[in-house]
Amino acid sequence: MTATIIDGKAHALALRTRVAAHVATFREATGRAPGLAVVLVGEDPASAVYVRNKGKATLDAGMASFEHRLPVDTEAETLLALVAQLNADPAVDGILVQLPLPAHIDAQAVLLAIDPDKDVDGFHPVNAGRLAIGAEGFVPCTPLGCLILLKDIHPKLSGMEAVVVGRSNIVGKPMAQLLLQQSCTVTIVHSRTRDVAAHLRMADIVVAAVGIPRFIQGDWIKPGASVIDVGINRTDDGLVGDVDFAAASAVAGAITPVPGGVGPMTIACLIRNTYVSACRRERLEAML
């Protein structure tokens, strides 16, 4: 058995193309473009690449991109003042402060300062609470992208056994909430779980977000399971995921590659969330 490879690049392109078409309609209706503000503090190379890619994707979708690059020694008060300015700016529909921030800045305080209705990253506790109770809010982009990929394979997820590997606030916890909303039976496994493999062997769906290269072995995968690998780990062999791709591909029914799987969906979902935010602020229906 050889798994179907889930092409995240193709799915992301389709989503971004769809959003761009709706953005054109939005601009005709409102006379403005949805706006995304991205804030980068310092010169972290990986963060700079992410910010550049996000800015390009924003412009490609016909949206307005506002980039704010601050020096690494920027004081927290200066950053918080910028966030307050962006909260009040009617041209800005989404605010994203690129993490990680320099050590002298309290990242949680900065995230709390973002208006939850402009928090297109979905990291604010208000949006975490909205997700938990099923209210309208913003879902973190990576788990939302994972769900879109899964629903393409399984239009009806109801009743499926899902295991999420990892319990971070950015991926693991919101992923579990999204799967619960789809009526999956959800288990979260983590560093204190006694027998991770035993849980995974029962899973119809595996979402791996643990940050350990090739942690999940092929013989841990239930035959025919769908495997979504969120991990991006730099090794001597290049970028690899949290799943042993070669071994798992021989067992799984479908699997995402690394790179080219979940990664492209994260930026596509950021563009989607920004468009949705603009529609909500203009009291228009988001056509997605």
Q: Are 105 and 146 members of one domain?
A: no
Residues 147 and 256 in one domain: yes
Q: What integer pLDDT is reported at residue 4 of this predicted model?
A: 97
**Do 116 and 161 belong to one domain?**
no
Annotated catalytic residue, options 93, 117, 119, 121: 121
Q: Is 98 a catalytic residue?
A: yes
Give the domain CATH number at 66: 3.40.50.10860
Distance from C-alpha of 36 to C-alpha of 67, rounded to nearest angstrom: 8
| Residue 145 in domain | yes
pLDDT at site 132: 96
Q: Which domain holds residue 59?
A: 32-121
Residues 182, 114: one domain? Answer: no
Residue 287 belongs to a domain: no
244 is catalytic: no
Determine, yes or no, domain membership for 79: yes
pTM: 0.95
Name which of 11, 21, 63, 71 is nearest 41 in CA terms. Answer: 71
| Whether residue 93 lies in the annotated active site | no
Does residue 277 fall inside a structural domain? no
d(CA 37, CA 44) in angstroms, rounded, equals 18
**What's the domain count of the chain?**
2
Residue 134: C-alpha distances to residues 137, 201, 244 (Å): 9, 29, 34
Question: pLDDT at position 1, please?
Answer: 65
**Distance between CA atoms of 172 and 181, rounded to whole angstroms?**
14
The angle formed by the CA atoms of residues 153, 154 and 157, to the nearest 5 degrees, is 150
The tokens describing 121, both together, are: 């990253």
Q: Say yes or no: 117 and 147 in one domain.
A: no
Query: Is position 11 within any domain?
Result: no
Instruction: Tell me, yes or no, whether 104 and 165 share the same domain.
Output: no
Looking at the structure, tell me whether residues 148 and 253 fall in a common domain.
Answer: yes
Q: What is the mean pLDDT of each run of 10 residues along the chain (288 residues)?
A: 93 97 97 98 90 95 97 97 98 96 96 98 97 96 98 97 97 98 98 96 98 97 98 92 97 97 96 98 93
What's the CATH number where 213 sits?
3.40.50.720
Instruction: Look at residue 23 and tell me if it is in a domain.
Output: no
Same domain, 151 and 248: yes
10 within some domain: no
Angle between helices 262-281 and 45-60 (to 10 degrees): 50
| 54, 118, 173, 222: the active-site residue | 54
For residues 171 and 252, membership in a common domain is answered with yes
Q: Which of 98, 117, 119, 173 is catalytic?
A: 98
My answer on whether 221 and 256 are in the same domain is yes
In DSSP notation, 68-136 reads EEE-TT--HHHHHHHHHHHHH-TT--EEEEPSSPPTTS-HHHHHHHS-GGG-TT--SHHHHHHHHHT-S
* CA pair distance 172, 166, nearest whole angstrom: 5
Are 176 and 113 found together in one domain? no
Same-domain pairing of 157 and 76: no
